[in-house]
Structure 1
Amino acid sequence: MRPLTDEVTAQIEAPPEQVWALVSDVTRIGEFSPETVAGRWTGGSTGPEVGATFAGKVVRNGVGPTYWARCRVTRSEPSRRFEFAVGTTSRTVNTWGYRLQPFGTGTQVTEYYRLEPTWPVRLYWALLGRLRSRTNRRGMATTLERMRQVLEER
């Protein structure tokens, strides 16, 4: 069975604080992600603090089905890390995040995901993990490349 986690790293010629401001602004994710086409803060949340909630509009595999995923910020370390859990308040399905490190005159940014090892997730991953893993990897690479283009144009 494929691992329940993966990551993609890119170099961006922008300082960590600019990269962090972009990756932690969930209202802009639709500009970058091939699957999450919109995002909005929910429950009175207005920014990337631990415990803040938001919803991401997902178009699965870029074609559907379409649904809103509930998310909660689990780590928010300006210029270093932004991470959020996807699921309900009582059950996390997966966690997505970004790790940032200064690198030369720019930033090394790593997007990652980690699936929770529940039996339904393990069964799903055993059946469709190869395809979903490939889709996730391509999506992370696309997201980081689109972010790189925006940040390096400044």
Structure 2
Amino acid sequence: MTAPAATGSLSIAAPCSVVYALVSDPARLADLAAEYHAHRWLDGATHATVGARFRGTNRRGLHRWTTTSTITAADEGRRFAFEVAFGPVPISRWEYVISPAPGGCVVTESTWERRPAWFRLPGAVGTGVWHRAAANRANIEATLARLKAAAGA
């Protein structure tokens, strides 16, 4: 796999299991994320397992859009990842890697750009984001800070 388009890490004074529970629950993740706002499980799913899908509602200023995410990794306490699509168009891949560290853990949030070149302009118009990598770096920083606070660390 190529290098992520945006990534960030933060030490959190909480057990890996606590951090994993926060990032692997789409409802809790919506409380922490900068653009991702809400979710609805699809196809009868009720929790994070590989292959489960959820519809994400996103917002940035006046812009609103929905995506469909498919969970690709759900390694309890260690790793959570999902692929995002807009209809049939791949958009991104998001991953949270949680590693034990003295006094808690280190969580690394990363995203990979998956949009085809032809979809970048319509995507920018729809989301209001013209420099997606820079916006995602800022979003990751904000999400990790909120995650740390939510974990009680």
TM-score norm. by structure 1 comes to 0.84
> Aligned pair count?
147
- What SS does the corresponding residue of 1:10 show, helix, strand or coil? strand
User: Counterpart of 2:54 in structure 1: which amino acid?
Assistant: F
Structure-2 residue corresponding to 1:27: 27
Structure-2 residue corresponding to 1:47: 47
- What SS does the corresponding residue of 2:27 show, helix, strand or coil? helix
User: Counterpart of 1:39 in structure 2: which amino acid?
Assistant: H
User: Counterpart of 1:120 in structure 2: which amino acid?
Assistant: W
Q: Say whether the 8 Å CA contact 1:93–1:115 is kept in structure 2.
A: yes
- Compared CA separation, residues 89 and 72, structure 1 to 2 (3 A): farther
Shift of 1:147: 1.0
Q: Give 1:83-94 correspondences, 5 Å limit.
A: 83-87=81-85, 91-94=89-92
Which of the pair is proportionally richer in helix?
Answer: 1
- Compared CA separation, residues 78 and 4, structure 1 to 2 (3 A): closer
Shift of 1:82: 0.3
Structure-1 residue corresponding to 2:131: 131
Equivalents in 2 of 1:42, 1:7: separation in Å? 28
Partner deviation per Cα, 1:112-136 (whole Å, 9 max, x = no partner): 10012633257789xx997222211
Structure-1 residue corresponding to 2:76: 78
Shift of 1:88: 5.6
Identity of paired residues, percent?
29
Structure-2 residue corresponding to 1:68: 66
- Compared CA separation, residues 130 and 90, structure 1 to 2 (3 A): closer
Equivalents in 2 of 1:30, 1:106: separation in Å? 23
Partner deviation per Cα, 1:94-127 (whole Å, 9 max, x = no partner): 10110110011211001110012633257789xx
Shift of 1:137: 0.7
Specify every segment of 5 or more residues in structure 2 that has no aligned partner in the other structure, as ranges: none
- What SS does the corresponding residue of 1:152 show, helix, strand or coil? coil
Structure-2 residue corresponding to 1:11: 11
Specify every segment of 5 or more residues in structure 1 that has no aligned partner in the other structure, as ranges: none
Shift of 1:93: 2.0
Hey, which bits of structure 1, 4+ residues long, moved more than 6 A? 122-125
- Compared CA separation, residues 102 and 146, structure 1 to 2 (3 A): same
Q: Say whether the 8 Å CA contact 1:58–1:67 is kept in structure 2.
A: yes
- Compared CA separation, residues 108 and 48, structure 1 to 2 (3 A): same
